[in-house]
Amino acid sequence: MKLPDLRVPNVRLKARLAIYGAVCCSLILFLFFLGKKTTSKADRLQAEYITGKSPLDDLRPASRSVLFPEEEIARMRVTQYEDPLGKHWEGPGAEHIELFHSILSANPGGLYLDVGANEGVLMRLAAMMGHPTIGVEAIAQNYVSLLNMIEENQYATNVRVVHAAASDRSGTMVAFSENHSGKQRNGQQLVKGQSSEFPIQYSPTVALDDIVASKVCLMKLDVEGTEYNALRGAKSLVTLRKIRFVHFEFSPSNMASLSGTTAPKDMLLYLLENGYKLYVESVSKQNMDDVVVHELPQLRQSETGAAFFNRLSTNEFRGSDQREVLSGDVDDFVDMFISRSTNRSLLVNFLAVLN
């Protein structure tokens, strides 16, 4: 009698084992390379910060004059996805939704540049309206949140994000102290050698002129006191009159400590000298002496958003309640805010309009 061949394999069992093995190996390799990439990048950024090595090639290929050329910006223009005003907005920047919606609506298809994008609330507004949208964000956790926002909302066509700190030149390294304010995650830039009780992150710098050379409909600047450094990195964009509106946070005390004592006045004068009109949109009155509100007529109003933009567009600011800050007002304006502010968190929201 012929005995059965015990060497005949169980094909189904073998196939299952092969599949399970392949899946496990793939998962192990993925986790290994993910962890290695994250760890090595953090270590590399810290080493580059210490040694001063330039990481510019990580941001912009040598073959490109800017990170996002005009032809790529053109491909990023899409039709509006949905009406953003029907949404409930919350998070950093949500208080500006109405104003930004008015500006973007008046400039269909215009490029929106968000410098200090944080969680991307205003980026999402612009993306939802179909605008080409570019965000610049230095804090790693916020950068990851922005990538998730793009993926979850399917904005890959018209949204790009640069993980870097906007500055007056590309290719240097800066350190940030992580600062959690409620649910918001900010980063306070540190002076070289300065220590911090909070965790420290490192980020390469990028000049805005190295990101785009196209016309910009609206640029938001909110980089925790280094707005003037970021603006100087947009020298070509500013002097060639390519940015129509600049909305920026202005904290004179904070800016003076990080960018030099003359930086607050220099920034306002720089914009004025390059053809911009400066309007106070809003002020964080909770951080300000009541005398400031009394001394500055333009701050007595509470009108913001669409109503503010409509009056601005029709040039209706007149008389004692106008919000415009002229070149002759800059010295007194900045000096008063520095002397009257009760702490460094005093904020003025400016809208600069190209004349």
Residue 135: inside a domain, yes or no? yes
278-308: burial string, b at 16+ Cβ within 10 Å, e else: bbbbbbeeebbbeebeeebebbeeeeebbeb
202-217: burial string, b at 16+ Cβ within 10 Å, e else: bbbbbbbbbbbbbbbb
Check pLDDT > 70 for residue 352: yes
Residue 12: inside a domain, yes or no? no
Residue 23: inside a domain, yes or no? no
Q: How many CB atoms lie within 10 A of CB 42?
A: 13
Residue 15: inside a domain, yes or no? no
Q: Determine the pLDDT at residue 284.
A: 67
Phi, psi of 73 (to 5 degrees): -60, -40
Residue 18: inside a domain, yes or no? no
CATH code for position 113: 3.40.50.150
Kindly tell me the sign of the dihedral angle through the C-alpha atoms of 59, 75, 137, 342.
positive
Residue 300: inside a domain, yes or no? yes
Domain boundaries, position 59: 50-354
Q: Supply 39's token pair.
A: 């760890």
Instruction: State pLDDT tens for residues 171-214.
Output: 888 887 766 555 555 655 655 555 556 677 888 899 999 999 99
pTM: 0.77
**Minimal CA–CA distance to 330: which of 345, 348, 312?**
348
Residue 37: inside a domain, yes or no? no
Check pLDDT > 70 for residue 130: yes
Report the largest interatomic distance among the alpha carbons of the chain, rounded to a whole angstrom: 114
Q: Supply 314's token pair.
A: 């029709």
Residue 27: inside a domain, yes or no? no
| The total number of structural domains that make up the chain | 1
Bridge partners, 112 (sequence order): 133, 218
